[in-house]
Amino acid sequence: MDSFFFRYLAFLLGGISTVSVAGALYLHATFDGVRLAAELSQFVRQHYQRTLRIEGAAELSLFPRLEIRLPEASLSIPDGSEEFAGIDGARICVRLWPLLTRRLAVEGLVVEGLRLNLRHAKDGRLNMVDLLETEVPEGASPFELELDWLQILGGRLDWRDGQGGQYLMLTDLEVDTGSLARQAQGRLRLSARVTRDEPASDARIVLRSDYLLEGPRRLLRKVDVGLKGALAGRSGMDLEIRMGELALSAGEYLQIRGGSFLLKGRRDRESFVLKTIFPELQFGAEGAAVDALDLFLRLEGPGEEGSLRLQGGGLKAAWDGIRVERIDGEVDWKGARGRLMGTLGGAADMQYASRVAELSGWHGVLRLVSESGPPVAFRLSGDAHVDGRRGRAEGRLAGTVNASTLEGRWRISRFVPLALGFDLALDRLTLPGVGEAIPVRDKSRPWLMDGSLAGGVDLDGVLRVGRLTVGKIRAHKVHLPIRREGGTLAFPAHSAELYGGRYDGSLSFQAEGRKMAYRGYLQNVTAREILADLELGQRFGGTTNIFAELETSGELPEDWLGNLQGVARLRLRNGTVGGINVLAALREWRDSLMQRRPSRRADKEDESTFVGEATASFQIARGVARSQDIQAVSRLLRLQGGGGVFLPERRLDLQLKATPLGFPVGPESALLVGLKGMSVPVRVKASPGALEWHLEPAAILPAAVGGGRKGGRRAVGALPGAIRKNLPRLVQPSVTSVERHE
């Protein structure tokens, strides 16, 4: 029985093989490639209204497998005006029995040199929608498409967006699939080179995915997309896209579940990571919609690092633009000089064609922590208009900085490199004093005049402050322009009202050569108040005018004072000089005057000398300010002379001539009447923590010292006899001040 069964099975298989071989030989002898090409072209024209051109006859091959080889062919768009798809050639693996009945049952397909032109029209439709939507009546097709596998070797795909004007091209396209029947599942692999003109991109893409085909529904699962190369004009980019499930149905409906987007980039020593997660994304005829979106950005570079996290909702992306109803974010940025932390949020609307974005209802609560000062808290709101085509942006800003009210506008005239302009107004602003704000410099870290000034953000704006406090210094109506460009940081034409007067000045720093230039004019300022707030004591009183024009350079800030040069002028009206009562000092120096020997007098905080009006001009070179025209005059006294201020050493050395012009009314006035009109040499020496007044009669007294009187100058030895005789007895202990009789 068993032997009979096997003999029968062998006979049956042999018969089938014989019939198959015979059928194949018959098919090869009777195959009509021209007719097959004509039938295919007729079918496409009838059901899709497209033109299929096959350049030559199809050929049938029996070995190594049964396949039809097609020559170069092309398929047009519906109106026939241009090519939709084309091939350099193809091999169609077919089944034998359907082919014997003149029907084409495709088992596998190898396409060489595929050309595919996809267009997104201005009306929002793709130029391939009709191929997906058209239903072919059963039995009308000359072939059955039951692909068990598909291969594309060396393809090219062009994508053009008629609404946004975007262009994308895939070349070196390689595709390998499993079964592509109406009811099938398999695995897809795709690789290609992606290029784009604007923004410039050139990268390699690899896609892997499982898929499921269920009639008009196409489903991709475990989608993994990798993209490496240059993206958006930046090289060294690495993009990973993962989707749990991507479903595509007829009518251009697409749904993505469990999606994530990861982008990494590096340039020099800078790197960034951008990650986006969305639970569900839907694409329809009107565009895309996302209920929730989570975005995370991290940047790292030399001396700085930071992160930004955004959570959005109500995102709708149509073919003409994107609208986000709500964005909430967190920022944490740490730089070389501080750290910025806080939250922000708002809404956004962007149009593709015009590349214009509107940011509305934006608000934020930020905190800046600096190593050189107290924390600063910002509470801000505003809106923005961004023009991507022109590379510009502008917006409005309002809120508070600490307890100060802030409002104003900003503008960006160029994105790369960034050029920022602004006009901001604060009702009040409090900053730490110079001693508090500038600690001992860490020489291992950069400072303002290092390379950081030569690059970065270009600035052109103005800051207005109603009330400004720096340490204890108080100013009002502050106007501070700020400009930074090409390695130069400048504060031109800034001004303020302070201490009953006004200040106007300009200041600039230049990275090349490490240079600083300054020009300033302080006029009608109450000297005693400003010196007290500067914690310099109350050495001078009165109304002060100071003009200075200075410049310096140096590799380090410590070098600036030693390289300082320029000019300065001083004028003091209705003023006082603290630390000495000159007329009282003359009484104390009575013996020294008689003996023509020097004498020293310590600085006394409870004494002062009224000078009425004082002027001086200084020439400054290598950190030393020298003057030859110091003058101070009142009804009772005149001071004249010159000297130097040694800035790097914080030292002062002045040589003055004190000439009494009169004396206060009182019993002591007669005691010094003999000195009226005579010039007494006084030297002022100061160093940190010490100030002294010196009488140096040997320097000048042998010459005439009474130049203020008619009839010539008198030496001490020529004093009237009675005065010279009684001077030791008449001079009494000094008074502590000179009354003002102006």
User: pLDDT tens digit string along 308-345?
Assistant: 888 888 777 776 778 888 888 898 888 766 788 999 89
Residues 47/134, Cβ–Cβ less than 8 Å: yes
Indicate if 570 and 427 belong to the same structural domain. Answer: no
Rounded CA-CA distance 528/536 in Å is 10
pLDDT at position 427: 93
Indicate if 706 and 638 belong to the same structural domain. Answer: yes
Rounded CA-CA distance 720/722 in Å is 6
Indicate if 486 and 593 belong to the same structural domain. Answer: no
Residue 109: what are its φ and ψ, rounded to 5°? -140, 130
The closest of 181, 257, 258, 174 to 218, measured between CA atoms, is 181
Task: Tell me whether residue 570 is in a domain.
Answer: yes
Indicate if 586 and 528 belong to the same structural domain. Answer: no
Answer yes or no: is pLDDT of 26 > 50. no
pLDDT at position 24: 44
What's CA 211's distance to the chain center, in Å?
44
Indicate if 428 and 516 belong to the same structural domain. Answer: yes
Q: What is the DSSP string of 712-728?
A: ----GGGS-HHHHHHHH
User: Which DSSP letter does residue 733 get?
Assistant: P
Write down which residue in 181, 208, 228 finishes a domain: 181
The closest of 98, 27, 28, 112 to 70, measured between CA atoms, is 112
Name the range with the highest mean pLDDT among 78-87, 296-305, 538-547, 615-624: 615-624
Indicate if 402 and 506 belong to the same structural domain. Answer: yes
Answer yes or no: is pLDDT of 17 > 50. no
Dihedral of CA 669/673/677/681: which sign? negative
Q: What is the pLDDT confidence band of residue 12, given thresholds at 50, 70 and 90?
A: very low
Q: Using alpha carbons, list the distances in angstroms from residue 368 to 247, 374, 377.
A: 46, 9, 6
Q: Which residue has 């030297």 as its token pair? A: 683
Q: Which two tokens stand for residue 550?
A: 């200075």
User: Which DSSP letter does residue 355 get?
Assistant: T
pLDDT at position 522: 93
Q: What is the pLDDT confidence band of residue 411, given thresholds at 50, 70 and 90?
A: very high
Indicate if 522 and 582 belong to the same structural domain. Answer: no
Lowest mean pLDDT across 127-131, 522-526, 725-729: 725-729
Residues 240/258, Cβ–Cβ less than 8 Å: no
pLDDT at position 139: 56
pLDDT at position 701: 40
Write down which residue in 153, 181, 209 finishes a domain: 181
Q: What mean pLDDT comes out for the span 73-84?
A: 84
Residues 118/128, Cβ–Cβ less than 8 Å: yes
- β-pairing, 104-112 vs 143-161, is parallel
pLDDT at position 274: 86
Rounded CA-CA distance 600/585 in Å is 10
**Continuous segment of H or E residues that includes residue 116:** strand 115-120
The closest of 154, 150, 139 to 187, measured between CA atoms, is 150
Answer yes or no: is pLDDT of 497 > 90. yes
Q: Using alpha carbons, list the distances in angstroms from residue 471 to 126, 401, 426, 480, 532.
A: 67, 17, 18, 18, 12
Residues 143/105, Cβ–Cβ less than 8 Å: yes
Q: What is the pLDDT confidence band of residue 492, given thresholds at 50, 70 and 90?
A: very high
Q: What mean pLDDT comes out for the span 407-424?
A: 89
User: pLDDT tens digit string along 352-403?
Assistant: 777 888 888 889 998 988 776 678 888 999 999 988 888 889 999 999 988 8
Rounded CA-CA distance 642/653 in Å is 9
Lowest mean pLDDT across 74-88, 315-329, 513-527, 693-707: 693-707
Name the range with the highest mean pLDDT among 462-471, 657-666, 714-723: 462-471
pLDDT at position 689: 72
Indicate if 490 and 618 belong to the same structural domain. Answer: no
pLDDT at position 102: 54
Lowest mean pLDDT across 142-151, 252-261, 482-491: 142-151
User: Which DSSP letter does residue 561 get?
Assistant: G
**Continuous segment of H or E residues that includes residue 573:** strand 565-579
Indicate if 690 and 607 belong to the same structural domain. Answer: yes
pLDDT at position 478: 95
Residues 143/104, Cβ–Cβ less than 8 Å: yes
- β-pairing, 287-301 vs 473-485, is unpaired
Rounded CA-CA distance 23/272 in Å is 65
Q: Higher confidence at residue 646 or residue 214?
A: 646
Q: What is the pLDDT confidence band of residue 541, given thresholds at 50, 70 and 90?
A: confident
Q: What is the pLDDT confidence band of residue 615, given thresholds at 50, 70 and 90?
A: very high
3-state secondary structure of 269: coil
- β-pairing, 143-161 vs 115-120, is parallel
* Gap between the terminal Cα atoms of the chain: 149
Answer yes or no: is pLDDT of 418 > 90. no
The closest of 703, 713, 717, 642 to 677, measured between CA atoms, is 713
Q: What mean pLDDT comes out for the span 690-701?
A: 69
pLDDT at position 272: 84
pLDDT at position 508: 93
User: pLDDT tens digit string along 164-217?
Assistant: 667 788 899 999 988 777 778 888 899 999 888 777 788 999 999 998 887 777
Long-range contacts of 125-128 (CB under 8 A, 24+ apart): 126/252, 127/77, 127/84, 128/84
Give the domain range for residue 77.
31-181
- Name the CA radius of gyration of the chain, rounded: 46
Answer yes or no: is pLDDT of 684 > 90. no
Task: Tell me whether residue 93 is in a domain.
Answer: yes
Q: What is the DSSP string of 609-634?
A: EEEEEEEEEEEEETTEEEEEEEEEE-
Task: Tell me whether residue 48 is in a domain.
Answer: yes
**180 burial level (CB within 10 Å; 0-12, 13-18, 19+):** buried
Q: Higher confidence at residue 459 or residue 136?
A: 459
Lowest mean pLDDT across 85-99, 357-371, 411-425, 473-487: 85-99
Q: Higher confidence at residue 176 or residue 46?
A: 176
Indicate if 701 and 652 belong to the same structural domain. Answer: yes
| Total domains, the chain | 3
The closest of 388, 316, 314, 384 to 352, measured between CA atoms, is 388
Rounded CA-CA distance 536/116 in Å is 81
Task: Tell me whether residue 222 is in a domain.
Answer: no
3-state secondary structure of 682: strand
Write down which residue in 181, 212, 239 finishes a domain: 181
Rounded CA-CA distance 294/330 in Å is 11
Q: Higher confidence at residue 538 or residue 342?
A: 342
Q: Which residue has 């839907």 as its token pair? A: 282
What residues contact 419, with CB distance under 8 A and at least 6 apart? 412, 413, 457, 458, 459, 460
Answer yes or no: is pLDDT of 28 > 50. no
Q: What is the pLDDT confidence band of residue 109, given thresholds at 50, 70 and 90?
A: confident
pLDDT at position 138: 60
Q: Which two tokens stand for residue 438?
A: 């500038």
Rounded CA-CA distance 659/307 in Å is 71
Answer yes or no: is pLDDT of 720 > 80. no
pLDDT at position 7: 45
Residues 737/577, Cβ–Cβ less than 8 Å: no
The closest of 91, 94, 73 to 27, measured between CA atoms, is 94
Answer yes or no: is pLDDT of 712 > 60. no
Answer yes or no: is pLDDT of 586 > 70. yes
Q: What mean pLDDT comes out for the span 557-567?
A: 85
**Helix, strand and coil percent figures for the chain, each rounded to 5:** 15, 60, 25
Task: Tell me whether residue 461 is in a domain.
Answer: yes
Residues 96/20, Cβ–Cβ less than 8 Å: yes
pLDDT at position 738: 34
Q: What is the 3-state secondary structure of 285-340?
A: CCEEEEEEEEEEEEEEECCEEEEEEEEEEEEEEECCEEEEEEEEEEEEEECCCEEE
Q: What mean pLDDT comes out for the span 238-266?
A: 83
Q: Quick one: what percent of the chain has pLDDT higher than 90?
A: 19
The closest of 345, 314, 348 to 329, measured between CA atoms, is 345
Q: What is the DSSP string of 466-478?
A: EEEEETTEEEEEE
The closest of 146, 145, 207, 128 to 175, measured between CA atoms, is 207
Residues 645/625, Cβ–Cβ less than 8 Å: yes
User: pLDDT tens digit string along 129-138?
Assistant: 677 666 656 6
Lowest mean pLDDT across 13-17, 339-343, 552-556: 13-17
pLDDT at position 306: 85
Task: Tell me whether residue 518 is in a domain.
Answer: yes
The closest of 170, 295, 280, 287 to 229, measured between CA atoms, is 170
Indicate if 466 and 595 belong to the same structural domain. Answer: no
Phi-psi region of 559 (alpha: psi -120 to 50; beta: other; left: phi over 0): alpha
Task: Tell me whether residue 323 is in a domain.
Answer: no
Task: Tell me whether residue 102 is in a domain.
Answer: yes
pLDDT at position 482: 94
Q: Higher confidence at residue 66 or residue 117?
A: 117
Residues 397/409, Cβ–Cβ less than 8 Å: yes
Residues 611/632, Cβ–Cβ less than 8 Å: yes
Answer yes or no: is pLDDT of 68 > 70. yes
Indicate if 470 and 413 belong to the same structural domain. Answer: yes
Lowest mean pLDDT across 136-150, 331-345, 500-514: 136-150
Residue 435: what are its φ and ψ, rounded to 5°? -65, -35
Dihedral of CA 534/536/541/547: which sign? negative
| Average pLDDT taken over every residue of the chain | 77
The closest of 171, 176, 274, 259 to 222, measured between CA atoms, is 259
